[in-house]
Amino acid sequence: MTTLVIGANGQIGKQFCELAKQAGTPIKAMVRSEEQAAWFQERGINTVVGDLESEFEHAFNGCDQVVFTAGSGPHTGPDKTLMIDLFGAIRAADIASQRGLSRYIMVSAIRAEKPLEAPEKMRPYMAAKFAADAHLRHSDVSHVILKPGRLTDDEPTHKFANSLEEAGENHISRANVAYALLRVVQAPDLINQEITLLDGKRPIDALL
């Protein structure tokens, strides 16, 4: 089962791709340019060039499921958020449905369903995640929606919590998200679930 990784060149995407390569989990990393592809090819990771703001359906060829971990980033404007986090995610879900893929695994955000409660600068991003998640739920492709808290660059602990009450704090390392994402990809029977991800004390299998 080959997994298309949309957003492979992002901070979570790169860590996930390295973990998948080490685990022998077949993936195809979608990047925006040949320059970005070099990093993956040096590590023996299969790549395909595709742009969420243009045509990228060809990237799905030969893939059985898709991971969406793309993000417009904190330094771009609402226009990029609209095209990548919203429209890009929706188009990917539609292609996955048309192609009959087994699953769409979305990296969303905790409390994406309440964008007005987010800090003002984060509201367009949260609104985009809210709408993209809703579209995915109502599509006919099986899905898993991961909802990480505030992302940090801390070292991986491989320990998790799935609620703010349990965790105590609203954060999780990108490395832990990448690790959880790998475990989800490796669990094909996990479908139509939404999982909050925070740093905690439990192994990932206890959450899944």
What secondary structure does DSSP assign to 151-193, as a single string?
EE-PPP---EESSHHHHSSSEEEHHHHHHHHHHHHT-TT--SE
Taking the C-alpha atoms of residue 59 and residue 148, their distance in angstroms, rounded to an integer, is 26
Residue 72 clears pLDDT 80, i.e. is over it: no
Taking the C-alpha atoms of residue 110 and residue 129, their distance in angstroms, rounded to an integer, is 10
- Segment 134-156 shows an average pLDDT of 96
pLDDT band at 139 (very low <50, low <70, confident <90, very high): very high
Active site residues: 125
* Percentage of the chain lying above the pLDDT 70 cut: 99
Residue with tokens 């990917």: 92
Q: What is the mean pLDDT of the chain?
A: 95
Between 158 and 78, name the one with better pLDDT.
Answer: 158
| Range in 73-82, 89-98, 123-132 with the lowest mean pLDDT | 73-82
**Distance (Å) of CA 48 to CA 19, 44, 90:** 18, 13, 20
